[in-house]
Amino acid sequence: MLDRVDVEADILIIGGGSAGCLAAIRAKELAPEARVVVFEKGHIHRSGSLAMGMDAVNIVAIPGEGTPEEYVESATKAFHGVLDPTPSYVMAERSFALLQKLERWGINVPKDASGNYQSLQVHSKGKFAVPIMAPEIKVTLSNKVSDAGVTVLNRIQGVSLLTRGGRVAGAVGLNVRTGEMVVCRASAVILASGGCARFGLPDSGYLFGTFDFPGNAGDGFSMAFRAGAELTGMEFTRTSPLIKDMSCPLLYIVLTRGAEVVNAFGEKIGGEGGVSMGTMLKEIYDGKGPIFISMTHLPDEKVSEIESILFTTERPIQRKFFKGRGIDFREKAIELRPTEVQLCGGHGASGIRVDERAQTAVRGLYAAGDVACVPGQHLTGAFVFGEVAAEEAVALVRGSESPALDATQVGEARERMERLLSAHGPVTLHEFEYKLRRLINNYIASPKNEYKLGQALEWAERLEAELPKVATVEGAHQLGRALEVEAILDCARLSATAGRERKETRWGLQHLRTDYPEADPKLLGHIVLQRGDGGEVTTSFKAVGSR
């Protein structure tokens, strides 16, 4: 029997990464008296996709450099028209004030000799990427959360959202160290738990060797779906060409500073249209790979600038990695390989459907960051919509009381965890997850077709039934892992369902249907997924910009 701990909150934030920290800080700015609680699976000091540092705020509409309208135009083009313009506009509109706030907090935002912010060309129109030098940005954010008086519960993994009468009422979490079930009653909940990085299996076969933070296992997608929220873009199975054998940030850092991409024949990729994720991946799948990042033509001072960013702010382990491979950027190119597929609302277009107020289809439930579908929002979206979600949650809390908890739902969450804890089968969780993610590679990743997606759904149903029977789950830590595997299974089911529903090819290799190789103008919109009365995945189609 799991011990139970009860917590009371006005606003509960699930996830203490970038979006969660900004949400917590903003909520306390607006309502110092509010009881703001954070469930953080790891430790908030170094958690989430921003655990180490950051080299840029990806989207900032600096007055005179780029406008929100230009950003929305370029983002719409990048995502082939499937992008609700209003949330993206709000993000760009608030981005410059956000950058100035980060600067006031002590984040180093370099300026030129005239005192102007620097900006880099990443999007097809307008300069929106602003370099920062922030190797300790997550520490800064977590300290601000602490100073604000937020209650942070570290090592608490979100398990289930609780609802009452169509409104969120709190959540159940698991202490992955002690095994306690934590039940939090709250008037509003902000989901900020990241995307699903642990989706496809990396080439290495190492479960945690993912480009994005491997603790992001789709928990938020799963919790939102089970609670009745809408999800969209789950067919956008994202992959990127990155450093072979080390999935680390690289492209935006080097390409914006003059690096080139060449194929195995030494031919430069991109031409007049410029290099993009799509052109690089196409080169690989057309048999002209591997492809390489080359900096051998750059002046030494530019290479030194790139090294400074890669070896300090962005994953300092890269220095040791390249030294071990005998790679000096001045003399040798860097081989690239496609990463594992992932589902992400920051780098990609997958997630919980939200409006410009970060509101989901469940009243009182908000979503921000990689768990929310604001295509290509990156770090800016996590920060901006963390604040937006907090503003909306504070307004809701001030105007209403917390709903009572549904004892049946709490009991169901307990039963789910205890059923997994009773599993003592012949298969380790590592082996089970490996097989699941290999099947995702086989049947859900592009290239896709009707048969493969159907097989994915059959396997997801089978593995869901087998998990508590054949796997071994011992102790709180493994229980947390088992719940993550269930979340990955939910994501597989959602992705395969959406992929089968979108009978067209869109976003290049992110959703390539070989049985429907062309884009269909009638499908220029959102495949929306929601939980049916029997727990099944229901689908609908909604036009861009419609609610």
**CATH code of the domain covering residue 488:** 1.20.58.100
- Specify whether 173 is located in the same domain as 229: yes
**Per-residue pLDDT tens for 517-536?**
999 999 999 999 999 999 99
Residue 391 lies in a domain: yes
Average pLDDT on 421-443 reads 97
- Specify whether 40 is located in the same domain as 159: yes
- Specify whether 87 is located in the same domain as 172: yes
User: 490: which residues sit within 8 A by CB, 6+ positions away?
Assistant: 218, 221, 222, 225, 226
Nearest to 387 by CA among 368, 405, 402, 359: 368
Give alpha helix (H) positions in 399-449. 407-421, 429-443
Q: What count of residues does the chain have?
A: 547
pLDDT above 80 (res 214): yes
Q: Which residue has the higher pLDDT, 275 or 445?
A: 445
As a whole-number percent, the residues of the chain with pLDDT over 70 amount to 99
3-state secondary structure of 380: helix
**CATH code of the domain covering residue 380:** 3.50.50.60
Average pLDDT on 472-496 reads 97
**CA pair distance 73, 88, nearest whole angstrom:** 10
Residue 307 lies in a domain: yes
Chosen domain end from 338, 363, 381: 338
Q: What is the mean pLDDT of the chain?
A: 94
- Specify whether 94 is located in the same domain as 165: yes
**CA pair distance 3, 173, nearest whole angstrom:** 12
pTM listed for this prediction: 0.96
pLDDT above 90 (res 381): yes
**CATH code of the domain covering residue 270:** 3.90.700.10
For residue 334 the two structure tokens come to 């860097």
Question: Can you state the percent helix, strand and coil of the chain, rounding each to 5?
Answer: 40, 20, 40
Q: With cut-offs at 50, 70 and 90, classify the pLDDT of residue 86.
A: very high
pLDDT above 90 (res 543): yes
Residue 187 lies in a domain: yes
Residue 107 lies in a domain: no
Amino acid in the structure at residue 439? L
Average pLDDT on 6-16 reads 98
- Specify whether 456 is located in the same domain as 535: yes
Predicted local confidence at residue 215, as pLDDT: 94
For residue 400 the two structure tokens come to 């209403």
**Per-residue pLDDT tens for 502-522?**
999 999 999 999 999 999 999
Predicted local confidence at residue 312, as pLDDT: 83
Average pLDDT on 321-330 reads 94
**Per-residue pLDDT tens for 251-277?**
888 988 899 999 999 999 976 667 888
In this structure, are residues 25 and 201 in contact, taking their beta carbons and an 8 Å threshold?
Answer: no
Residue 188 lies in a domain: yes
- Specify whether 180 is located in the same domain as 315: no
- Specify whether 501 is located in the same domain as 361: no
- Specify whether 230 is located in the same domain as 372: yes
In this structure, are residues 515 and 450 in contact, taking their beta carbons and an 8 Å threshold?
Answer: yes
Average pLDDT on 421-427 reads 94
SS (H, E, C) 85-149: HHHHHHHHHHHHHHHHHHHHCCCECCECCCCCECCECCCCCCCCEEEEEECCHHHHHHHHHHHCC
Predicted local confidence at residue 273, as pLDDT: 63
- Specify whether 328 is located in the same domain as 432: no
pLDDT above 90 (res 492): yes
**Per-residue pLDDT tens for 347-357?**
999 999 999 99
Residue 382 lies in a domain: yes
**Per-residue pLDDT tens for 149-193?**
999 999 999 999 999 999 999 999 999 999 999 999 999 999 999
pLDDT above 70 (res 449): yes
- Specify whether 329 is located in the same domain as 376: no
- Number of domains forming the structure of the chain: 3
Chosen domain end from 352, 386, 404: 404
Predicted local confidence at residue 399, as pLDDT: 81
**CA pair distance 238, 440, nearest whole angstrom:** 13
Residue 44 lies in a domain: yes
> Residue 321 — φ and ψ, nearest 5°?
-60, -50
Predicted local confidence at residue 41, as pLDDT: 97
**CA pair distance 429, 423, nearest whole angstrom:** 10
3-state secondary structure of 491: helix
Residue 190 lies in a domain: yes
- Specify whether 398 is located in the same domain as 413: no
Question: DSSP letter at 511?
Answer: B
Predicted local confidence at residue 333, as pLDDT: 95
pLDDT above 90 (res 85): yes
Q: With cut-offs at 50, 70 and 90, classify the pLDDT of residue 113.
A: confident
- Specify whether 281 is located in the same domain as 381: no
**CA pair distance 510, 519, nearest whole angstrom:** 13
Average pLDDT on 396-411 reads 92
Average pLDDT on 109-125 reads 84
pLDDT above 80 (res 64): yes
What range defines the domain where residue 26 resides?
A: 4-56+66-98+133-237+344-404
In this structure, are residues 15 and 194 in contact, taking their beta carbons and an 8 Å threshold?
Answer: yes
Chosen domain end from 285, 310, 338: 338
pLDDT above 80 (res 44): yes
Helix (H), strand (E) at residue 37: strand 36-40
In this structure, are residues 226 and 161 in contact, taking their beta carbons and an 8 Å threshold?
Answer: yes
